[in-house]
A and B are shown apart, each in its own frame.
Chain A
Amino acid sequence: MTDTKYLETHEWYKISDNTFTVGISDFAQGELGDIVFITLPEVGQEFKKGDSIVEVEATKTVAEAYAPMDCVITEVNSNLETEPELINNDPVGDGWMVKAEISIMDDSGMSYSEYESFIS
C-alpha cells in the first residue's frame, strides 16, 4: 500500500499491488458543489491514461474524472448510484469511485503537499 497521490485534474489514486482505487479530491468536490448523479464505467472496461472514466453531475455543472494510468476496471462503487452525496461527504474514503487493475504502471501523481500547493 502506497500513499494517496493526486493529479492536476483533481483525482486521487492509491496503488495497492497491481490495482489502484480512484476518486476525486476534497477540493474538486468543493468546487463542484452538491453532486446529484454519477455515471460509472462497467467492470472489465479498459481505459488509457487520461481517458474519461467517470462522469460526475453536480447541480450546476458536469465534470469528468480521468484514468491516472492505463487500466482495466475491476470494481465500481455502486453505492454512489443511489448516494452520490458520499463523494461530497467523504471524497477520499467512502466516496471512492472505481478500482482497476494496472495495465501500465504510472505512479507520477503529486504527493498531498505538492497537490496542496498546486491548488492554492
Chain B
Amino acid sequence: MFSGGNAKSLPLVGGLSEPTINQLSNPGRRASRFPKLDVPVTEINNPAIRNDKPLLPEVSEHDLVMHYSRLAHRNFAVDLGFYPLGSCTMKYNPRFADSMANLDTFANSHPSTPAEFTQGNLEILFELEQYLIEITGMDFATFQPPAGASGELTGLLIIKKYLEENNKTNKTNIIVPDSAHGTNPASAKMAGFEVVEVSTDDRGMVNIDDLKNLVDENTAGLMLTNPNTGGLFEEHISEISNIIHDVGGLVYYDGANLNAIVGVCRPGDMGFDIVHSNLHKTFATPHGGGGPGSGPVAVKGFLKEYLPGPIVIKEENGLNWYTPTSSIGRMHGYHGNFLVALRALVYMKLLGKEGLDKLGAFAVLNARYLSSVVSKVIPLAYNEPCMHEFVTTVKHLKKSHKIKASDVGKALLDKGFHSPTIYFPLIVEEALMFEPTETQSVDTLDDLAETLKVIINELQGDDISLEEYPKNLPVGRPNELIPAKHLTVNWGDFELLEITE
C-alpha cells in the first residue's frame, strides 16, 4: 500500500547509529583557526583561570557539517511522515506562510521602530486580532505570550488582577479537571491560586455533580479545554460556565484543542471569558522544537484593560501601540513573536473564510474515520463520538500479553510512523492518543490502522522480547533506569557508568 504518511523510505529506518561528536574527535583537528597573535601577550593571574583544556571535540569543518547533516536526516518530522501525536496537533504547515515570514521586510523589521514607520506590521497584528476574536468569539487580544503555557499564566494573572481590583481577594481557588494537561494546575499555582481538581464522569466529561460540590464563594475560576483532553466535546459547557459565573468566577479556555472547532463554534459563545490560542499549533507555525511560538490571549471587553501590552489600537491618524491601564505587565519583550503571528495571518488569508469554516470539520472527520478503523484493533477509552482526537487503551493487552502502550508506540516507529501520544491523559490506563489532523489523506489513515493491526499481532507472538523494539532504527530503546538512578550530565562520566553497571 502506498500512503503519503509512511516514512519507511527514510534513511532513519534500517540505518546505523550516528557516532557522537566526541567519538569523531581526533586531537589537533580544527574546524577553524585563529589568526596569528599580533598584539602583546598579557598574563591574567586569576584563580578562576583553568589550566587544563576543556574536553571539547576536535573535528574538521567538513566532518562537523556531515555529522550534523546526518543527524538532521535521522529526525522524524511532520514533513517526513505521519505524526499522529494526540493533544499536539502536528499538522502540515504550508510553505507559503513560511516564505512570507522569510521576506526581509518582515524578518528584518526591528521591534522598536516607531509605529509611524511600521504601519504595515501593526496592520498585520491588528487584522490578525480581528480574525482571532472572530474565531474565538472574544473582543480584544494581546500577542505578548510566546506559547500556550505563557498564555495560561497571562489569563490567570488577568483573573487575579480583575478579582483584586473588584475586592474579591477571598477568591483563591481555580478548578481544573483531572484530565487536564499539567500546565493548567502549574499555571494556576504560579499565578498564586490554589488548585482544586474536578473529576471526570464515566463518559469522559467534566463531572457536573462534583463541580457543583466544589464551587463556592472562594472559586476564582475554571480552566477547561473544549473539546476536552479525551477528545470529547463537553456537552454541558453552557451549564459549566453558568455554574462558575453564578459565584462570580471567570472561565478560562485553554486553546490546546482549538483545531477541532475552528469555523464551527466559538469559546466566547460557550461562556468563556478568556481564551488563549496556540498560533504555532493551529495556525501554520511548525512546533515541537521549542519555539518560537505564539499564544495570544483574547478576552471579553470587560477585561481589555488588564491585557499585557503593548497592543495595537486604531487611532485617527492610523494604528498605534497602547498599553492597557490596569495591565498585568509584560509577558515578553516588545509585542510578542511577530513572525509567528504573521504566519497565522497568511494561513488564515490562504484558507479564507470558506477554508477556515471547514478546518475544524475536516480535523474531526479525519479523527472519527481513524477512530473507526483503529477501534477494530484496540478499544477506545470512551465509547463516545470523538472530536479531533481520540484515546484508546491497551490495558487488556497488558493483562493478557504484558504489552504496554509504550511497546506499541516503539513498535510503530519501526514501521515508518511516529508514535501517538502515550500515557496521556493520565486518567486512562495504558493510553494511546491519536490526532490525525485535517491534512492527512485517507490512504495514510488506513495505512496506520493496518500497521497497528500488524504490530499488535506481532507483539502477541510467543518468542517476542518487547524490550527489543524498535528493532530497525539507528537507536534502540533507551535505558531509563540508569539515568534515573544516577544523574550524570558529563559525557565521560556516563561512559564510565555504563561499564560499571
Residues of A within 8 A of B (CB): 34, 36-37, 59-60
Query: What mask results when residues 476 to 501 of chain B are scored 1 for a CB within 8 Å of chain A, else 0?
Result: 00001100110000000000000000
> How would you classify the secondary structure of chain B's contact residues: helix, strand, loop or mixed?
helix
Complex Cα distance, B352 from A103, in Å, reads 72
Q: Which has the most chain B C-beta neighbours within 10 Å: A36, A37, A60?
A: A36
Given the complex of chains A and B, what is the CA–CA distance between A56 and B484 in angstroms?
Answer: 13
How many Å lie between the Cα of A29 and that of B8 in the bound state? 37
Distance A36 CA – B484 CA, assembled complex (angstroms): 7
Cα separation A36 to B423 with both chains bound (whole Å): 20
Q: Nearest chain-B residue to A58 (Cβ)?
A: B484
Instruction: Quote the shortest CB–CB distance from B99 to chain A (angstroms).
Output: 41
In the assembled complex, how far is the CB of residue A32 from the closest CB belonging to chain B, in whole angstroms?
A: 12
Encoded as 1 (CB less than 8 Å from any A CB) or 0, chain B from 407 to 437 comes to: 0000000000000000100000000000000
Q: Which 7 A-B pairs have the closest CB atoms?
A: A36-B484, A59-B480, A59-B484, A34-B481, A36-B485, A59-B481, A36-B481
Q: Which B residues are CB-close (under 8 A) to A59?
A: 480-481, 484
CB distance from A31 to the nearest CB of B (A): 9
A34 vs B484: C-alpha distance when bound (angstroms):
10
- Digitize B374-415: 1 where CB-to-A-CB distance is under 8 Å, 0 elsewhere: 000000000000000000000000000000000000000000
Contacts beyond the supplied A36-B484, A37-B485: 4 A-B pairs with Cβ under 8 Å: A34-B481, A36-B481, A60-B423, A60-B480
8 sample A-B contacts, Cβ–Cβ < 8 Å, listed by A number = A34-B481, A34-B484, A36-B481, A36-B484, A37-B485, A59-B481, A59-B484, A60-B423
Expressed in whole angstroms, the minimum distance between the Cβ of B210 and any Cβ of chain A is 21
Which chain A residue has the least Cβ–Cβ distance from B404?
Answer: A33
The distance in angstroms between the C-alpha atoms of A70 and B341, with both chains bound, is 59
What's the least CB distance linking A82 to chain B, in Å? 10
CB neighbours (8 Å) of A34 from chain B are 480-481, 484
Q: When chains A and B are docked, how far (Å) is the Cα of A10 from the Cα of B484?
A: 24
Q: Which residue in chain A gives the minimum CB-CB distance to B402?
A: A30
With a cutoff of 8 Å between Cβ atoms, the chain B residues found around residue A37 in the complex are: 485
CB distance from B410 to the nearest CB of A (A): 15
The interface residues of chain A lying within 8 Å CB-to-CB of B484 are: 34, 36, 59
Determine the residue in chain A with the shortest Cβ distance to B481: A34
Q: How far is the CB of A7 from chain B (nearest CB, A)?
A: 20
A-contact bits for B422-463, CB 8 A (1 contact / 0 none): 010000000000000000000000000000000000000000
CB distance from B427 to the nearest CB of A (A): 14
Please, which residues of chain A bring their CB within 8 A of the CB of B485? Answer: 36-37
Q: How far is the CA of A37 from the CA of B486 in the complex (A)?
A: 10
Closest chain-A Cβ to B138's Cβ sits at a distance in Å of 38
**Taking the nearest CB of chain B, how far is it from the CB of A56, in angstroms?**
13
Min CB distance A86 to B, Å, is 13
56-113 of chain B: CB within 8 A of chain A: none
| Bound form: Cα–Cα A60–B423 in Å | 10
Which residues of chain A are within 8 angstroms of B481 by Cβ–Cβ distance? 34, 36, 59
Which residues of chain B are near A36, meaning CB under 8 Å? 481, 484-485
Contacts of B423 in A (CB 8 A): 60
Q: In the bound complex, what is the Cα–Cα distance between A60 and B481 (angstroms)? A: 10
Minimal Cβ-Cβ distance residue in A for B485: A36
- Chain A residues near B480 (CB, 8 Å)? 34, 59-60
- CA–CA, A37 to B481, complex, Å? 11
In the docked arrangement, what's the CA distance between A59 and B423, Å?
A: 14
- Least CB distance from A90 to B in Å reads 17
Whole-angstrom CA separation of A60 from B484 in the bound complex: 9
B-side contacts of A60, CB under 8 Å: 423, 480
B484 CB, nearest partner CB in chain A, Å: 4
A80 shortest CB reach to chain B, Å? 13
* A37→B423 CA distance, assembly (Å): 22
- Cα separation A37 to B485 with both chains bound (whole Å): 7
